[in-house]
Structure 1
Amino acid sequence: MTVQSVTTLGGTASHVKVGKVAHGVMMMTWTPKPVPDDIAFEAIKAGIDSMPSGVRMYISSCEFFSLAYDTANLELLARFFEKYPGYADRVFLAVHGGSQLGSLKIDASPENLRRSITNINAALRGTKRVDLFQCGRVDQSYPIWETIGLLKGFIAEGLFDHIGMTECSAATVRRAHAVHPITAVEIEVSPWSMESETKKVLATAQELDIAVIAYSPLGRGFLTGQIKSFDDIPEGDLRRRLTRFCDPECFKANLALVDALTALAAKKSSTPSKLCIAFVASLGPKVIPIPGSSSAMRTLENTYAADEYFAPEELAEIWKIIDEYEVKGDRYFGLDPKAMNLWG
């Protein structure tokens, strides 16, 4: 069985066909107990195998997706492509980089960006070409046109093929796109992450024919309905530090949103997970939800979710829920958005 929902990317990759749902592999390695290769490989393979002929699965990795902020995630993918070399051309690989070595601090200096892409390519060991490179956040110490101009030069050197952006404002997207066509912007989008700037980026990307890679479409698992209490979150899990999870008042208040989405999903004989992914996918022809999964079964469930159809009245019901329920707590650690480089 293959998925039916297919789209294309934007910018210089507007000819590339990808599934309407991408695959995030962050939590395969950014966890106290990394997922064993055999389980991780089956999850990755299942998603790729679900793609129609000529369609690639968009997979997002990163130079620092581990508790040590090292290349463990990329090394996992390198081992996968070593075992399944025929799958390399069936994947569109986007990689976040640009942080200082062993850190989350973004540094868009020419020296560090070259170090970063060199380190990424070394970790992949020639098993897979980097299709798209994007800084993990916008480093506002450097004008965006300088950063994009530098990355454009790296493309000319053959270090990777396309440019993406992460956690960027609509205005920054416009400035960057004027320097070099942007293929994709990655921002958080879900029924509990629909900020005013989210809507602006979605509209700007559609106007400029840029794909939107919508991360955390399931609210980091909260919107699935599987997390009933704080104790359901494993020790060492990043979510134990996030405001919407660790603050008891926020957690309790946000359950009302989950209950409303769950009730609506039941009316469709569906699940809240499928409903959220399908809703995010419905936000634009090139809006691509990227849920994370380390399970082959869950990967397929997520991937097929974009095939679900919403009647206009059903979409209206979802928007009514979003508009009526005020989400409590910020997206990260209670810090000022500028401190987290959000909407750079």
Structure 2
Amino acid sequence: MTVQSVITLGGTASHITVGKVAHGLMMMTWTPNPVPDEICFEAIKAGVDAMPSGVKMLLNSGEFYAVDFSTANLELLARFFEKYPEYAERTFLSVKGGGKAEGFPVTDSPENLRRSVTAVNTALRGTKRLDLFECARVDPNYSVEQTIGILSGFVKEGLFDHIGMSECSAESLRKGNAVHPIAAVEIEVSPWSIEPETKNVLKTAEELGVAVVAYSPLGRGFLTGQIKKFEDLPEADVRRHLTRFRNPEYFQHNLILVDKLTEIAQKKGITTSRLSIAFVSSLGDKVIPLPGSSHVKRTLENTYSADAKLTKEESDAVWEIINNYEVKGDRYHGADPKASRLWG
């Protein structure tokens, strides 16, 4: 059985067809105890094997996806493609970079951008073409036009094929796309993360024909209904540092949102996870939910979720919850959005 929902990417990648749900790989390695290769490999293969003939699975990785900000995630991918070289052409690899050698903050200096792209390609060891590169954040010290111009030069050099943007505002997306056609923009989208600027980016991307890679469609696992209390998070889990998780009042308050979504999901006969992914997918023809998974069962559930089409009544019910329910806590660490350079 293969997935039914597929789309084409945007910009210079508009000829490439991918599944309507992508596969995020971050938590395979950004953990004190990385998931064993064989488990990760089977999860990646499961998603790719679910794609129809000629359709690629979008894999999302990062230069710094490890607790020590190393290239461990990309090295994992290199080992995967060395073992299964036939999967290289069946995947579209998007990698975010631009972080300094020791991790954040991101800097878009010409020197660091070249260092970052070189580090990504070095870690891949020629096992897989770098399809798309994107800076993890917009650096306010450099204009968007300058940054995209530099990346455009790298494309001409043959270092990678397509340019993406991440956590950018609608205005920045428009500016970047005017310099070089943007294939995809990555932003956080879920039933508990639809800010006014989220809607602006979605609208602008649709206008420009840019695909939207919507990360954390399950609210970093909170919307699955499997996290009932703070202690359910592993001791060293990065989510323990995020405002919505670490604040007991916010945590308990936000569980009400999960309960309300669960009621809709149960009426439809699907899990809350599938409902959340299907809802994010419904936000646009080129909106691609990007859930993360390290295990076959969850990967397959995620991958097929876009096929669970929502009726107008079901979609309206989710929107009613979003519009009338105030989520407590911001998306990250409680810092001012400008300080953490979200929506740059």
TM range (shorter): over 0.9
Q: Does residue 1:106 correspond to 2:110, yes or no? A: no
Residue 45 of structure 2 corresponds to which residue in structure 1? 45
Residue 257 of structure 2 corresponds to which residue in structure 1? 257
Residue 30 of structure 1 corresponds to which residue in structure 2? 30
Q: Distance in 2 between matches of 1:241 and 1:120?
A: 27
CA RMSD of aligned residues (A): 0.5
Shift of 1:293: 0.2
Q: Distance in 2 between matches of 1:238 and 1:313?
A: 36
Identity percentage over the alignment? 67
Residue 195 of structure 2 corresponds to which residue in structure 1? 195
Residue 81 of structure 1 corresponds to which residue in structure 2? 81
Shift of 1:174: 0.4
Q: Distance in 2 between matches of 1:312 and 1:264?
A: 13
**Aligned with 2:104: secondary structure?**
coil
Can you list the C-alpha shifts for 1:2-21, whole angstroms capped at 9, x where unaligned? 10000010000001000000
Shift of 1:340: 1.1
Residue 63 of structure 2 corresponds to which residue in structure 1? 63
**Aligned with 1:304: secondary structure?**
helix
Residue 285 of structure 1 corresponds to which residue in structure 2? 285
**Aligned with 1:55: secondary structure?**
coil
Q: Does residue 1:116 correspond to 2:116, yes or no? A: yes
Q: Distance in 2 between matches of 1:9 and 1:337?
A: 28
Shift of 1:214: 0.2
Residue 152 of structure 1 corresponds to which residue in structure 2? 152
Residue 297 of structure 1 corresponds to which residue in structure 2? 297
Can you list the C-alpha shifts for 1:52-96, whole angstroms capped at 9, x where unaligned? 000000001011000000100000000000000000000000011
Q: Does residue 1:335 correspond to 2:309, yes or no? A: no
Can you list the C-alpha shifts for 1:9-60, whole angstroms capped at 9, x where unaligned? 0000001000000000000000010000000000000000000000000001
Query: Structure 2 counterpart of 1:89, which letter?
Result: E
Residue 171 of structure 1 corresponds to which residue in structure 2? 171
Residue 316 of structure 2 corresponds to which residue in structure 1? 316
Shift of 1:103: 1.6
Query: Structure 2 counterpart of 1:190, which letter?
Result: S
**Aligned with 1:66: secondary structure?**
coil
**Aligned with 2:100: secondary structure?**
coil
**Aligned with 1:7: secondary structure?**
strand
Residue 12 of structure 1 corresponds to which residue in structure 2? 12
Give the TM-score, by structure 2 length.
1.00
Q: Distance in 2 between matches of 1:225 and 1:103?
A: 31
Query: Structure 2 counterpart of 1:229, which letter?
Result: K
Residue 325 of structure 2 corresponds to which residue in structure 1? 325
Q: Distance in 1 between matches of 2:119 and 2:278?
A: 36
Q: Does residue 1:228 correspond to 2:218, yes or no? A: no
Query: Structure 2 counterpart of 1:219, which letter?
Result: G
Q: Distance in 2 between matches of 1:17 and 1:230?
A: 39
Query: Structure 2 counterpart of 1:75, which letter?
Result: E
Shift of 1:166: 0.3
Shift of 1:210: 0.2
Shift of 1:104: 1.3
Pairs aligned (count): 344
Shift of 1:193: 0.1
